[in-house]
Chain A
Amino acid sequence: MREILDKIVDAASQRFGAEYAEIRAQELRRTSVTLKEGRVEAAKQGIEKGAALRVLVKGAWGFASVGSFDAEVLTEAVSDACKMASVTAPKLKKRIKLTRTKVIEDAVILKPKKDPSEIAVEEKISLALNVNDVAFASDRRVKSCTVNYLDLTGKTHFVNSDGTSITQDELYMWLGVGVTAKEKGVFTHSREAVGSTLGYEVFDVETPQKVGEMVAKRAVGQLEAKPPKGGTFPVILGPNVIGTLVHEAFGHLAEADLTLSGSIISDKLRKKVASSVVTLYDDGTVNGAFGSFRYDDEGVPAQKTLLVKDGVIVGLMHNRETAHQFDAEPTGNARAEDFRVEPIIRMRNTYIQPRDYSFDELAEDVKFGYYLKSFRGGQANLDGTFQVGIQEACEIVDGEVGETMRDVSISGNTLETLLKVDAVGKEFELWPGVCGKGQSAFVSSGGAHTRVKEVLVGGSA
């Protein structure tokens, strides 16, 4: 494999005029099971292989993807990519350049305790069935349950014209569960996911019992919940809500490509944008976390990147192109979903650094507000407007957690909101998710319970 890849990269530089070339060849195997109310919709397994070729010609990018490792097919594709790039080059206002990085030769071999590719599909089906059975057994008001199991394994070979050559094992485990409950015409929905880059052993900790119960209890608990008042209130955000907020509302703006596009933080580097208790990281090195990996898809080692220190923006997430523009070091954030697409700047595990408050201390100063425990999803815009939908929330009255609320969502402006953070708790949690930015990326986000003096709470009608 290595020889073919080297040859293609050489051809790009020597025959087709590329100043930079890389090839990423992947072989991927996905096994998945979808269960609806205990019915196996289909047990699936597929194998794909293909190569992504990326070249820089006269400062413009060319990219080609083909489902083949055949030398002739790859040569034709790389020649195409170079030709296409030279068509764009004359239109460039500013040539693209890459920052230099260390040349790396490495082979990353994963040795999971329980390798999912060695586990029979029957066992995966029975794991999913277990989750389903636990959910239905926990309450008669549970009406539907969807379980999605996925394991993704494979190998990625990366070679570039700087001399870097990396072979890396891929391993991702995912279990997504969605439950609906119904009573007296009220419908509720709850979802949860397990995601890991360790092996199948993750289900020894995140057991079907634990996951099934948690999702079902939440759906049922929502049945008697009441809608919140709309308006501005103090809130305590659970680790997975503040994690989502940090990911959506700050993280995306600090992806250097979006910062350059004019995101609200583009003129705020090295300035104070958040209260002094806010320290934020995007970290690709958390062992086993869903957003962790050794090398990114430009061959740069993943690292722990400090974004905000005590309220001041100190870093952005870079690929080699933006690192050059900012005269910064690349941070290992260039990720591609698979060989069909090119690497772009993506987050990994994004979180707020814990401080020293207990939950009771966070709650005791709140006269009336909300405890937002678990998120349904979130979205943000370049102007810093964010929205986070909440699937589990309670009132806080005189420092005590009270009644359950339904279908809450919060919105605001990132910078205004981060300035209003006045205390951060001490228990650290990370929650897995799948982030969309044209392509999907496996990530996680979290941190510790965080109190915000005020945020706009949008209740249902």
Chain B
Amino acid sequence: MVALEEQDMLSLAEKAVKLALRRGADEAEAFVNRSSTNSVTIEIGQISKTARIIDRGLGLRAIVKKAIGFSYTNVLEDAAIEETVNRALSFAKASKPDEDWNGLPTEKTFASVKGTYDRRIADLHSEDLVKIASLMLDAAENTDKHAFPIEGGAGTGCLSEAIANSRGVAATDEGTVIECSLATIGREGGEVTPECVEFNFEREYCIDPEWVGHEAARLAASALRAKRIETGMMTVIFTQFALQQLLYYTLMRAVSADYVQRNQSALKDRVGEKIGSDCVTVYDDGLLEGGIRTGKFDGEGVPQQNTVLIEKGVLRGFVYDNYTARKEGKESTGNGSRAGYLSTPGVDTTNFHVLNGRRSADQLVSGLDNGLLVYSVQGAHTSNPVSCDFSVVATPAWLVKGGEVSHAVRAVMLAGNIFEILKNVTEIADNSRKVGQLVAPWVAVENVKVIGK
């Protein structure tokens, strides 16, 4: 397909906005994005598939008398865009006015961002991805004879977007991503381990497929010979995978202004209160160098920024999009997130950054007399999204005895509440990494309810 340059995308967006105004919209906003992804897939232990997906389209918000209509299309021709404009308008007219609607955002200056685009990624071919995947597979197979690669792959994506609205916002941005991942299981005798996953996901070309393969296999092999343990209260070290799963369905929602304003957050009316232990400091950093969610602007064309959420255990604030911010007479924090042209913006965290502590991950383990090292949890999405109570399976997880990893455990559940967890954090390591939108190190938490035998 003919490549769509950023300036063309912006012209399309501006044209759609103008047309909407001409047809009677009070305000209008158009978002155009294009993504081109290449991938190779590993299935059942072999590289068996390559794919290229090109997706692009335009989404238009039209506001008529404080009522909002939205329409999208992936056909970027004049007639289709005109239809899209008309549909958005007729849907706005069919909808109900929202008295809290206080207008689209106005134009602002963007901060500069680093590490979000790498020409080398855009230039990679399928052959290069096959090489990356092979390196990873070979590394896994050479690590341990009981570890079996099952699925994974390597991929790249080039993303560009443009936004224009009737209040002067007109901007474009582009970015790249590259990833490789491998899931393995350990098998020995009749025993099968849970899936053990390792990956790299970066904005610049700095992945290490051999490390990924090796780690995925090492984890699976060490998850074998799992034993059950007794029920009790324990200190638990959560790695980034486990933390990401637990926080995504709880704390990341509780700090969203949409949840707060709608009585769905246990943090409502608690700004300034101590909600975590002294060592917990969390930012929502939309400008983090090389961050997965880093960009110049959010889904509404508002500059992304670094927002303090929790400082030394004290709740400092929430993240806002334009709508929720204006409802409180505030400025958006640049957290109007969008899943491409198909969706309207909504509040979401960008890079949820838990700041490093001073000790190494090894020191956290060696300082633990009797506890669990939890790599991943299962079932975090069933947490109570309002109270933030959770009850999950810790898998894979290992028992730590006398400062050393003793053996894998099985059939272990963790139950608790995310705010109790925040208060019971005893130590934070210095091994920060990105997992999904979380950027965090390992975290040790005391008095976690562990349900075993």
Contacts and interface: CB of A to CB of B under 8 A. Distances in A.
A187 B344 contact: no
29 contacts: A43-B69, A43-B91, A62-B51, A63-B51, A65-B55, A67-B55, A67-B75, A84-B50, A84-B52, A84-B126, A88-B50, A92-B48, A96-B48, A125-B94, A143-B263, A187-B386, A189-B387, A230-B451, A261-B151, A262-B187, A263-B192, A341-B53, A342-B49, A342-B51, A383-B185, A385-B393, A387-B391, A388-B382, A456-B411
Interface stretch (B39-47, B277-285, B355-363): B39-47
A288 B160 CA distance: 40
Given A40-B96, A43-B95, A121-B94, A411 B413 contact: yes
Given A88-B130, A385-B393, A45 B411 contact: no
A2 to B, nearest CB: 20
A377 B379 contact: yes
B192 A460 contact: no
A81 B264 CA distance: 47
Interface in B61-109: 61, 67-75, 80, 83-84, 87, 91-92, 94-96, 98, 100
A408 B59 CA distance: 41
A68 interface: yes
A461 interface: yes
Given A121-B94, A377-B379, A460 B391 contact: yes
CB-CB nearest 5 A-B residue pairs: A389-B382, A387-B379, A46-B72, A458-B413, A84-B50
Nearest to B34: A67
A441 B75 CA distance: 25
A39 B262 CA distance: 11
A460 B389 contact: yes
Contacts of A407: 384, 387, 389, 391
Interface of A: 36-37, 39-50, 60-68, 73, 76-77, 80-81, 83-85, 87-88, 91-94, 96, 120-122, 125, 143-144, 180, 182, 186-189, 230-231, 257, 260-264, 340-342, 375-389, 406-409, 411-413, 456, 458-461
A317 to B, nearest CB: 15
Contact of B413 (A47, A409, A413): A409
Nearest to B223: A383
Contacts of B73: 46-48
A16 to B, nearest CB: 14
B1 interface: yes
Interface stretch (B210-218, B330-338, B414-422): B414-422
Given A61-B50, A62-B50, A88-B50, A121 B266 contact: no
A381 B391 contact: no
B107 to A, nearest CB: 23
B275 interface: no
B378 A387 contact: yes
B134 A91 contact: yes
Contact of A383 (B83, B130, B192): B192
A389 B393 CA distance: 11
Given A92-B46, A187-B264, A261-B150, 10 more contacts: A40-B68, A67-B57, A83-B126, A93-B46, A188-B387, A263-B192, A409-B391, A409-B413, A411-B413, A461-B415
Nearest to B381: A377
A60 B48 contact: yes
Interface string B396-418: 00000000000000110111110
B71 A46 contact: yes
Interface of B: 1, 40, 43-57, 59, 61, 67-75, 80, 83-84, 87, 91-92, 94-96, 98, 100, 126-127, 130, 134, 148, 150-151, 185, 187, 192-195, 231, 262-264, 266, 342, 344, 378-379, 381-387, 389, 391-393, 395, 410-411, 413-417, 420, 449, 451
A188 B384 contact: yes
A261 B44 contact: yes
Contacts of B40: 88
A52 B57 CA distance: 17
A383 B396 CA distance: 11
Nearest to B451: A230
A412 B451 CA distance: 12
Contacts of A68: 1, 75
Contacts of A64: 51-53
Contact of A120 (B48, B94, B187): B94
Given A42-B68, A85-B50, A231 B231 contact: yes
Contact of A459 (B53, B187, B344, B391): B391
Contact of A43 (B57, B94, B150, B187): B94
Given A84-B51, A188-B386, A385-B393, A48 B74 contact: yes
A43 B97 CA distance: 11
B194 A121 contact: no
B344 A408 contact: no
Given A84-B51, A262-B185, A379-B379, A180 B264 contact: yes
Contacts of B71: 44-46
Nearest to A37: B262
Contacts of B187: 262
A272 to B, nearest CB: 15
A461 to B, nearest CB: 4
A271 B338 CA distance: 48
Given A43-B94, A382-B195, A411 B150 contact: no
Contacts of B382: 375-379, 387-389, 409
A120 B93 CA distance: 12
A87 B127 contact: yes
